[in-house]
């Protein structure tokens, strides 16, 4: 049994769990936190207006949570307000030196927090994250990892990764742990429905270095209710907003790398075309080509965008099918 003295000496870690309509998964999520080898944890669970049995599942584990954790707080919201607002609420309620997040459908390895704190002991200003294993709706390993899924196996994952993240997000947010006071004025953007985590990670990476643990400490679940599978247009619109934000706030940094600048123009352009605004979309695609004219893909996509909506959409569907086959 770990002594009370040791518990008091160890830093408090606040774990924030935003929950929404995950009645079949949240018990496994909470049990993975309850079973952590690290002792000094504050658990904050916020039920964001679930319409299923999520509330009752949380209640069934509440006694166990109160016995296990130094502090357990459960907030049951009547109305769904979105994950960004829910996470910000959790951050405001947190009392720990460090904060960490986990989706109510995901699972942690038992020694997740313990291994990350070993890194933070040497430098508590790092943002520590890890690899994740992809599991299906039944909790079975699919054979893939989180970074593989995001095409980031060979990308820089530790140190100053700000420029790397501007190209695209590959951080497993369910694995991240960082010092709360380092957030400063950074929060999850409540105007974004889906990509608030991407903007959050870029803003953090501008100020602090990251440390990647290659061992999978998280099991990230892919199932039929994942929002990216159900609302592609919503993700696309968020992508436009986020990239425009990057160009406005970090333009001086982005323009230092012509390829990264072109990538941001390209993503905005293709996203606008995807939601039917070809006039503005072509404008950004032309900017991308002018910025980085040696990229054949940019040239082809820009050319196709001038062939009309029907041709563009058909070729995009073909591209997606080819890409899916490769994966």
pLDDT in tens, 80-103: 999 999 999 999 999 999 999 999
Distance CA 260, CA 165 (A): 10
pLDDT: which is higher, 278 or 90: 90
pLDDT of 283 > 90? The answer is yes
Q: What is the pLDDT of residues 232-255, one digit of tens each?
A: 889 999 999 999 999 999 999 999
pLDDT digits (tens, 9 = 90+) for 110-141: 999 999 999 999 999 999 999 999 999 999 99
Quick one: which of 4, 35, 23, 132 has its CA closest to 15? 35
Q: How far is CA 268 from the centre of its chain?
A: 20
User: Has this prediction a pTM greater than 0.85?
Assistant: yes
Q: Could you give the C-alpha distances from 68 to 26, 33, 37, 43, 267, in angstroms and in order?
A: 17, 10, 11, 10, 46
- Give tens-digit pLDDT for 186-207: 999 999 999 999 999 999 999 9
Instruction: Give the 3-state secondary structure of residue 213.
Output: strand
Architecture of domain 9-225: Alpha-Beta Complex (3.90)
**Tokens standing for residue 113:** 């927090």
DSSP type of residue 240: H
pLDDT higher than 50, residue 217: yes
Residue 283 and residue 303 in contact, taking contact as beta carbons nearer than 8 Å:
no
Does pLDDT of 169 surpass 80?
yes
Any idea which architecture 230-326 has in CATH?
Alpha Horseshoe (1.25)
For the chain, give every residue range classified as CATH 3.90.550.10.
Answer: 9-225
CATH 1.25.40 residue ranges in the chain? 230-326
- As a whole number of angstroms, the distance between CA 105 and CA 19 comes to 8
Alpha helices (runs of H) in the chain, residue ranges in sequence order:
4-9, 26-34, 54-68, 83-93, 112-120, 146-149, 162-167, 196-207, 227-230, 232-249, 251-254, 258-274, 278-291, 296-305, 309-326
Q: How confident is the model at residue 2 (pLDDT cuts 50, 70, 90)?
A: very low
């Amino acid at each position: 049994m770990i002594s009370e003295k040791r518990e008091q000496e160890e830093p408090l870690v606040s774990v924030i769990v935003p929950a929404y309509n995950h009645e079949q998964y949240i018990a496994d999520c909470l049990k993975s936190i309850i079973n952590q080898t690290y002792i000094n944890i504050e658990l904050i669970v916020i039920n964001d207006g679930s319409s299923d049995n999520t509330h009752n599942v949380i209640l069934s584990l509440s006694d166990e949570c109160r016995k296990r954790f130094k502090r357990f707080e459960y907030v049951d919201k009547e109305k769904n307000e979105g994950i960004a607002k829910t996470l910000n609420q959790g951050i405001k309620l947190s009392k720990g030196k460090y904060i960490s997040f986990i989706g109510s459908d995901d699972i942690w390895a038992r020694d997740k927090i313990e291994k990350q704190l070993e890194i933070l002991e040497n430098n508590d200003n790092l943002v520590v994250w890890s690899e994740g294993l992809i599991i299906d709706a039944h909790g079975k390993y699919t054979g893939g990892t989180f970074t593989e899924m995001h095409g980031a196996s060979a990308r820089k994952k530790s140190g100053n990764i700000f420029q790397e993240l501007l190209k695209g997000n590959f951080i497993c947010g369910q694995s991240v742990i960082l010092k709360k006071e380092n957030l400063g004025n950074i929060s999850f953007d409540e105007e974004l429905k889906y990509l608030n985590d991407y903007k959050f990670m870029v803003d953090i990476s501008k100020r602090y270095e990251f440390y990647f643990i290659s061992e999978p400490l998280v099991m990230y679940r892919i199932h039929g209710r994942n929002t990216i599978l159900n609302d592609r247009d919503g993700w696309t619109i968020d992508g436009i907003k986020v990239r425009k934000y990057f160009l406005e706030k970090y333009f001086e940094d982005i323009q230092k790398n012509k390829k990264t600048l072109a990538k941001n123009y390209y993503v905005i352009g293709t996203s606008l075309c995807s939601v039917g605004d070809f006039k503005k979309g072509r404008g950004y695609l032309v900017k991308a080509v002018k910025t980085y004219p040696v990229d054949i893909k940019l040239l082809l996509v820009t050319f196709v965008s001038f062939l009309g909506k029907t041709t563009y959409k058909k070729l995009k569907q073909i591209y997606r099918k080819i890409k899916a086959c490769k994966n």
